[in-house]
């Protein structure tokens, strides 16, 4: 066993589909090829959109496909205290601040169409509330944002995509850590959980690569280690658009686990397999070593 620790972090807003299956298989193969551990984390931080039934269904679908977490899954719904502690810490240091801008105000300022936004994209926020709320505000529930105005552009290296850079202040602005409805943001939760679980390597779909700079910014503010990142190609639908739960991607058929895995393997450039599930997975670990490990880059 090496020090490698990877994870698969599904949000239980729907069953496993071809896109999430690919992230599950790629992260599992990378962990096995490194002789490391593979953990599953249930990202149910947004309780309105997630359900425990769907989480259990996903865990069952993973088991059906021969992918089992090496430790009991971590559930974000049980982590509020840790999230609040870190938020308090950032607030005490003047790095996080309350914001009373409504979604409607922000959307109007952007002429935004939420349907066209990528996963976890935010409306650029230039810091309207950064230097204090406007007088007379009596709103009880406020969002919390992190200041990005003093941050230099974030540079990082992706094992597949190579050198990356994002000026978070300009491209995203002060992003949300906690929403006005009390829900902690994906960015805050994922950073704290990756650190708490000792994750050394994040392997996930390329549609999330745009979130990485925000996560590194938070890791630096919270003095947490930065894992290595590998963003995989995406499963595309017939229209060449990314498959997602939002555009009706079908749940995988876990009575045919090998078919679901083969579909993911194809996108990852791995040869098709037939026969026993365990043998297929083993062959893919070997193929992953040859094909994907040469891309391995230590973090800068």
Binding residues (CB under 6 A) for ligand GLU: these are: 9-11, 43, 119, 190, 204, 208
Q: How far is the CB of 127 from ligand GLU (least distance, A)?
A: 26
In whole angstroms, the minimum distance from the beta carbon of 94 to ligand GLU comes to: 28
Q: Which is nearer to ligand GLU, 23 or 33 (CB)?
A: 23
CB of 204 to ligand GLU, least distance (A): 4
Residues 6+ apart with CB under 8 A from 85: none
> How would you classify the pairing of strands 201-205 and 143-146?
unpaired
Residue 11: CB minimum distance to ligand GLU, A: 4
Q: How many other CB atoms are there within 10 angstroms of residue 139's CB atom?
A: 11
| Residue 11 vs 262, nearer CB to ligand GLU | 11
Cβ distance to ligand GLU smaller for residue 230 or 265: 230
Q: Centre a 10 Å sphere on the Cβ of residue 72 and count the other Cβ atoms it contains.
A: 8
Q: Which two tokens stand for residue 213?
A: 């700079």
Closest contact distance (angstroms) between CB of 43 and ligand GLU is 4
Residue 49 vs 289, nearer CB to ligand GLU: 49
Instruction: Annotate 98-137 with DSSP letters as a single string.
Output: EE---HHHHHHHHT--GGGPPTT----B--TTTT-PPTT-
Taking the C-alpha atoms of residue 213 and residue 187, their distance in angstroms, rounded to an integer, is 10
Nearest distance in Å: CB 130, ligand GLU: 27
The CB-of-52 to ligand GLU minimum distance in angstroms stands at 15
Q: Which is nearer to ligand GLU, 37 or 273 (CB)?
A: 37
In DSSP notation, 146-189 reads: E--TTPPPEEEEETTTEEEEE-HHHHTBS-EEE-TTSPBPHHHH
Measured from the CB of residue 207, what is the shortest distance to ligand GLU in angstroms? 8
**For helices 186-196 and 212-221, what crossing angle results, to 10°?**
60
d(CA 128, CA 125): 8
In this complex, which beta carbon is closest to ligand GLU, that of residue 10 or of residue 257?
Answer: 10
Taking CA atoms, 229 is separated from 104, 195, 264, in Å, by 34, 14, 19
Q: Which CB sits closer to ligand GLU, 12 or 173?
A: 12
- Encode 214-245: b = buried (16+ Cβ within 10 Å), e = exposed: bbbbbbebeebebbbbbbbebbeeeeeebbbb
Q: Which residue lies nearer to ligand GLU by CB, 119 or 289?
A: 119
């Amino acid at each position: 066993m090496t020090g490698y620790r990877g994870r698969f972090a599904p949000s239980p807003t729907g069953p496993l589909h071809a896109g999430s299956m690919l992230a599950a298989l790629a992260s599992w193969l990378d962990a096995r090829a490194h002789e490391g551990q593979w953990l599953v984390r249930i990202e149910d931080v947004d309780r309105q959109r997630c359900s425990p039934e769907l989480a259990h269904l996903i865990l069952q679908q993973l088991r059906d496909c021969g992918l089992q977490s090496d430790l009991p899954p971590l559930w974000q719904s049980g982590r509020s205290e840790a999230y609040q502690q870190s938020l308090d810490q950032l607030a005490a240091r003047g790095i996080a601040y309350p914001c009373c801008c409504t979604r409607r105000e922000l959307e109007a300022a952007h002429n935004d169409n939420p349907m066209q936004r990528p996963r976890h994209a935010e409306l650029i926020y230039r810091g309207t509330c950064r230097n204090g709320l406007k007088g007379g505000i009596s709103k009880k529930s406020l969002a919390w944002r992190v200041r990005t105005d003093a941050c230099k552009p974030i540079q990082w290296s992706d094992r597949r995509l190579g050198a990356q850079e994002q000026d978070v202040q300009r491209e995203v602005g002060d992003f949300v850590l906690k929403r006005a409805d009390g829900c902690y943001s994906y960015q805050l939760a994922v950073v704290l959980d990756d650190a708490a679980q000792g994750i050394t390597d994040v392997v996930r779909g390329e549609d999330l690569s745009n979130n990485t700079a925000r996560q590194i910014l938070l890791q630096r503010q919270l003095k947490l280690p930065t894992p290595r990142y590998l963003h995989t190609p995406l499963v595309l639908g017939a229209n060449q658009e990314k498959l997602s739960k939002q555009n009706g991607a079908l749940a995988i058929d876990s009575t045919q686990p090998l078919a679901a895995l083969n579909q993911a393997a194809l996108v990852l450039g791995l040869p098709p397999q037939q026969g026993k599930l365990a043998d297929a997975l083993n062959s893919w670990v070997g193929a992953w070593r040859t094909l994907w490990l040469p891309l391995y880059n230590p973090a800068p």
